[in-house]
Chains A and B, each alone.
Chain A
């Protein structure tokens, strides 16, 4: 079939997962049911394999400087042993990728980028600058792709801390990095995720497709540690729904080479200060977009009638004219409706604006909705 297997594929199969082709990877779409897995993550805790994501390290005197050149984030301002979100832009201000920077220190980074072809593209792009930096500074810069030597899981949901406690690992809180051993296996824990909930992600070293024994050991240790709270196995169907409910972007759909962070709204200007850094790729384009304004905007779309908005469905204004199309969508058990994301002309980007979604023969009433879709006082890591 040509599908790429991950270190845990046999474990998923044996656990009765429904396996699928997920962007070229042989991964579980669900174990017990997508809705059940979504609710378990929101109300309890779940585990999902995310080894398909790219992982790379950058070490050397000027590692921090290089990342500042490549991203709009002031990397030097980040604390040690802390992760942070940012993005790599092209010269037009479009996204090359979005990435989690893991800063162990000013000279030592362990970062995560998007999966598959994106990993290859981004690492090749960064690699060019590593060479230039080494030449210009005379200082070595160690740049390493860890993707195929490591295994990675995401454990997400309000009860995540029970698992860390039982494993004897300090709390990863929001965005903290913790290096720890589990059953003798070297791991890197980070307080990160892609669901809107608190939780952690863990990278297991020396665990690959040929010898996944360490990954399996840690997986089983997490399941054992999560027994008290009945941790749930989660597939990528739920993971995709969880991130849409939380209003988080997926590379290739919500963010890509052709749209800029002002259009998507995922600019994170609190820590990606576009005008503060002397240079980063895409700076000129971003500042131009900011000053001149943009014509399209990425928004949430919530259906007000029965249906699921799916990629490619047309969005119409109330006069029935086409104004955009859906980029992705799901039926959300948390919201109790079909929800999705889309790009629309700026004049339609106001929350509460009524639109129609063409679903086959029917024009279904919908509205432009804030992100995240849920009430942050009730769901997600900010809940009271």
Chain B
């Protein structure tokens, strides 16, 4: 699986599914690995802290699951679908930098069990279109 570069700046990893809030998920068996896309992490800039949910927490689709605190902003991250948290990347609580440096690898945030439909997620191609549109709207 390779990366697609959008506007020479944002890497979108192929083979993942994405949310409109720029989170990614990857299915491994019946578990979904979850993190922030490169577009989200680049736009946030330098991160200070993350607040993670606990293992066993359950969320409805698009519920706030936790918080990423950047130097210039605080943002929620949202559930990609109805889910239960089965594992958290607690290393991020001491050092959030992997989210910036390796958002599709070491910077994974949660592992989830889906408890509802997932068909609203974007494939790579549609997600690339989505962020191209966002960049277009935000440009000067």
Judge whether B45 and A308 touch: CB under 8 Å: no
Judge whether A306 and B46 touch: CB under 8 Å: no
Of residues 298 to 325 in A, which have CB atoms within 8 Å of B's CB atoms? 306-308, 310
Judge whether B74 and A33 touch: CB under 8 Å: no
Report the stretch among B23-31, B65-73, B83-91, B127-135 that lies at the interface: B65-73
With A29-B72, A331-B71 in contact, is A34–B46 under 8 Å at CB? yes
Q: How many residues of B contact A (CB 8 A)?
A: 11
Interface size bracket, A side: 20 to 34
Complex Cα distance, B80 from A254, in Å, reads 41
Q: Is the C-beta of B48 less than 8 angstroms from some C-beta in chain A?
A: yes
Judge whether A331 and B48 touch: CB under 8 Å: yes
Judge whether A18 and B74 touch: CB under 8 Å: no
Chain A residue nearest to B100 (CB atoms) is A33
Of residues 207 to 239 in A, which have CB atoms within 8 Å of B's CB atoms? 237
Judge whether B140 and A19 touch: CB under 8 Å: yes
Q: Is the C-beta of A327 less than 8 angstroms from some C-beta in chain B?
A: no
Report chain B residues within 8 Å CB of A19.
140
Q: Is the C-beta of A268 less than 8 angstroms from some C-beta in chain B?
A: no
Complex Cα distance, B71 from A331, in Å, reads 7
Judge whether A308 and B140 touch: CB under 8 Å: no
Of residues 21 to 75 in B, which have CB atoms within 8 Å of A's CB atoms? 45-46, 48-49, 51, 67, 69, 71-72, 74
With A330-B71, A360-B67 in contact, is A308–B48 under 8 Å at CB? yes
Interface residue from A26, A33, A306, A310 paired with B49 (Cβ < 8 Å):
A306
Complex Cα distance, B69 from A134, in Å, reads 55
Chain A residue nearest to B51 (CB atoms) is A360
Report chain B residues within 8 Å CB of A237.
45, 71-72
Subset of 6 A-B contacts with CB under 8 Å: A18-B45, A20-B72, A29-B45, A30-B46, A35-B71, A237-B71
Q: A1-B140, A237-B45 are in contact. List 16 more A-B contacts (CB 8 A).
A: A18-B45, A19-B140, A29-B45, A30-B45, A30-B46, A34-B46, A34-B72, A35-B71, A237-B71, A307-B49, A307-B69, A308-B48, A308-B74, A310-B74, A330-B71, A331-B71
